[in-house]
A = this chain, B = another copy of it.
Amino acid sequence: MENISFHAHHSPFGAYASFIIGKLNSGAGFDLSNVQPQNNNFYVGYKRDEENAYLMPFLSSKRQINHEEAYVVKEHEENQANGQIHILTEKDIHRRMTWAQDLWTVNDLEFKIVTPFGHVNELEKMSERETRLCLLPAVFAQLTFDNSASEKTAEVVFGMEGMRRLISDTMGETYRGGACQTSTAFACVHSDEIEEKIGWGMLEQLWEETAVNKLGNEVVLNIKVKPGEKKTYTFVLATYQGGIITSGIPSQFMYTKYFQSIEDVISFALENKDYYLELAQQRDQELQNSDLNEYRQFQIAHATRSYYANTQLMVGSDEKPIWMVNEGEYQMINTFDLTVDQLFYEMRFHPWTTRNVLDLYLQRYGYIDGVKDMDSNHYQGGKSFTHDMGVANMFSPPHYSSYERVNIDGCFSYMTHEQLVNWIICAANYGIKHQDFEWLKEQEDVFKELLDSLINRDRDDDGIMDCDSTRCGTGTEITTYDALDESLGQARNNLYLAVKTWAAYISLEKVFALLGFNDKKKLSHNRANQAASTIVTKFDKEAGYIPAVFEKGNQSKIIPAVEGLIFPFLLGDYDAVSENGRFSHFIQALKKHIKTILVQGECIDAVSGAWKLSSTSYNTWMSKIYISQYIIQHILNMDYSEDEWTGWDIVHSKFQQKSCNDLCAVDQLDSRNGQAMGSRLYPRLVTNILWLSDQETDL
């Protein structure tokens, strides 16, 4: 790994909890019900003789180390016993991030954070034990010290700021570690060579014989490793958020039904550590055994971390599960234009979470609107869905999101058409690919309503949207690309949304075929044809591309023109996305479009060589690039060389490791330099799971 100094989330499934570490000299720490780095002192290090001690560079930047002291902390004069503490530097350390592990090695010390994850079955199909295994709100750390070639006893330290009590206070002799109140803790199984310490400013007393100041805010474990020994210690990094957490829909964490306290989490985690370490190994092997280059492997691993950081599995007063994915720094709940992109990931590991979100959209966050044409004539509209379900653990009232507002053009306006398309696409994908025909059948009337709703928004019957929702008031609808490029925000006559609408019609066609509604199937089929034909007519033969918006002379060239292709492909309709299939003109036009725009200075950034979604904006979104990359490489099979792909992967990988390294996975970047522009700490980058897909088996 060329750049090792970047923050990453380390999070269990559905606990909206992270341990964040990785940007050097910027500390580490837990965040609960949010995803922000904490910048607390984190102590990992060792000492083998009186003179020198070594610490990993995880101390908080709040310490404001001055230039001279940056690498050697001079001890308090009265306290020479500690010797010199050397803070290790980037060049001393090797870091490796696998899918489920974040490994740091230096000299004889290996330290890693282990974030086990895997397939999560429907809750009602699991035993209590299986459920506990899946819902444990904790991750792990492991520390290995190789003292086998030494004749001196080594003393290893592991500890952190923000811990305000010893775990032995509540767990007795069996465990050692620290905790803060009832909500965060670290612990390991006790053995005689481990000593627990608590105090203020433990850096000054890391190797002192005893230090117990129970008013302290740092807990450190000192572990003696004898000469000739190589020892590994496993720590749980545990979290617990009890009580009713969300408003609007009162709910508590599902895991609180299975774990009574953070102590309960700790003992279960350490009793079952072998299971979790094995699970992490499985994931690591799965990714390592793929044929993906290291840059893609890294990007998948990094994205996966930030996805889990944002996941939250709750249970309402009716005892039913509520799945939430929070929107990174924005904290919006189940933002629908993220749900549709995270579909690829959830379909692989826990398809029922997507269904759970679709159900809640139906039950609480659907609405029926009217539509208006450009002359402000009003007509019948139909059913659609809100942009999100609220923000920061506060569910918004029924039928309304936290994001959308009336009378706005641009950011914060309604996304009625896009969310309508998103529900159809997600539902078809879930029902058909996961073979949940019973659920599909239950949605029979909904699908019919949604087809009508789509058609009512297309008054000139050309297959694409031409009316805005009356919910917009005097404003107009936007798409998920709201913040990317002003010219792309508009939903009406939008190329990206038109192709996705085509995909929605194909999805409906398949659903109606399955459910046996032949007329609806044909209607959907015809509408897909109309959409494809309309889009083809927008192709500018001279310029060789389709403009982003079919209005006002727009000349933006956008990669997500092809985004919609992914959905028929995932449904197994390879004909629909083939240049020799029934949409051959359409697919050929899109291939030409990509060929034209994917060049330096257009949709390849002239400075950095990164992909950029739009030729007219240097704001670009990695999650969306990943989808289009998969389509262009594996669906359209376009002829870019391996070297070209690797070159792009290197640039994109470096962006995450270096340019926006303090905010975990970042979606919105400046294509020129990879600086974060928004959507920090974001879950959506798991679209890159597509790279791992095997058409036949996985998707």
Q: Which residues of A contact B (CB under 8 A)?
A: 164-165, 169-170, 179, 181-182, 212-215, 242-248, 250, 252, 261-262, 330, 332, 390-394, 396-397, 400-403, 405, 412
**Shortest distance between the CB of A197 and any CB in chain B (Å):** 12
Give Cα distance in the complex from A212 to B406, angstroms. Answer: 9
Indicate whether A244 sits within 8 Å of B243 (C-beta atoms), given known contacts A213-B405, A214-B391, A405-B213. Answer: yes
A261 contacts B248, CB within 8 Å? no
**Shortest distance between the CB of A163 and any CB in chain B (Å):** 11
Give Cα distance in the complex from A72 to B242, angstroms. Answer: 45
Give Cα distance in the complex from A262 to B243, angstroms. Answer: 13
Give Cα distance in the complex from A246 to B332, angstroms. Answer: 30
Supplied contacts A164-B391, A214-B396, A247-B262, 9 more A-B pairs, CB within 8 Å? A165-B394, A169-B394, A169-B397, A181-B247, A212-B405, A214-B400, A215-B330, A215-B332, A242-B244
Indicate whether A396 sits within 8 Å of B244 (C-beta atoms), given known contacts A250-B261, A391-B164. Answer: no
Give Cα distance in the complex from A392 to B198, angstroms. Answer: 15
Question: Which residues of chain B are near A391, meaning CB under 8 Å?
Answer: 164, 214-215
20 A-B residue pairings within 8 Å (CB atoms): A164-B392, A165-B248, A165-B394, A169-B247, A169-B248, A170-B248, A181-B247, A181-B394, A213-B412, A214-B390, A214-B403, A215-B330, A215-B391, A215-B402, A215-B403, A242-B242, A242-B243, A242-B244, A247-B262, A250-B261
Give Cα distance in the complex from A400 to B400, angstroms. Answer: 53
Give Cα distance in the complex from A368 to B582, angstroms. Answer: 89
**Shortest distance between the CB of A441 and any CB in chain B (Å):** 34
Complex: chain B residue closest to A401, CB-CB: B214
Give Cα distance in the complex from A212 to B400, angstroms. Answer: 12
Give Cα distance in the complex from A182 to B394, angstroms. Answer: 8
Question: Which residues of chain B are near A401, meaning CB under 8 Å?
Answer: 214
Question: Which residues of chain B are near A402, meaning CB under 8 Å?
Answer: 214-215
Complex: chain B residue closest to A394, CB-CB: B165
B396 contacts A247, CB within 8 Å? no
Give Cα distance in the complex from A248 to B403, angstroms. Answer: 42
Give Cα distance in the complex from A214 to B393, angstroms. Answer: 13
Question: Which residues of chain B are near A261, meaning CB under 8 Å?
Answer: 244, 250
Give Cα distance in the complex from A330 to B247, angstroms. Answer: 32
A247 contacts B392, CB within 8 Å? no
Complex: chain B residue closest to A182, CB-CB: B247
**Shortest distance between the CB of A386 and any CB in chain B (Å):** 11
Question: Which residues of chain B are near A396, meaning CB under 8 Å?
Answer: 165, 169, 214
**Shortest distance between the CB of A411 and any CB in chain B (Å):** 11
Give Cα distance in the complex from A273 to B393, angstroms. Answer: 30
A181 contacts B405, CB within 8 Å? no
**Shortest distance between the CB of A164 and any CB in chain B (Å):** 6
List the 10 closest A-B pairs by CB distance, nearest first: A243-B243, A242-B243, A214-B402, A169-B397, A165-B394, A182-B247, A242-B244, A181-B393, A215-B402, A182-B244
Question: Which residues of chain B are near A165, meaning CB under 8 Å?
Answer: 247-248, 394, 396
**Shortest distance between the CB of A446 and any CB in chain B (Å):** 26
Give Cα distance in the complex from A248 to B394, angstroms. Answer: 30
Question: Which residues of chain B are near A243, meaning CB under 8 Å?
Answer: 242-244, 252
Question: Which residues of chain B are near A213, meaning CB under 8 Å?
Answer: 405, 412
Give Cα distance in the complex from A245 to B183, angstroms. Answer: 9
Complex: chain B residue closest to A249, CB-CB: B170
A246 contacts B182, CB within 8 Å? yes
Give Cα distance in the complex from A248 to B214, angstroms. Answer: 13
Give Cα distance in the complex from A408 to B176, angstroms. Answer: 25
Question: Which residues of chain B are near A332, meaning CB under 8 Å?
Answer: 215
**Shortest distance between the CB of A609 and any CB in chain B (Å):** 35
Question: Which residues of chain B are near A393, meaning CB under 8 Å?
Answer: 181-182
Give Cα distance in the complex from A214 to B386, angstroms. Answer: 13
Give Cα distance in the complex from A247 to B394, angstroms. Answer: 27
Give Cα distance in the complex from A66 to B248, angstroms. Answer: 40
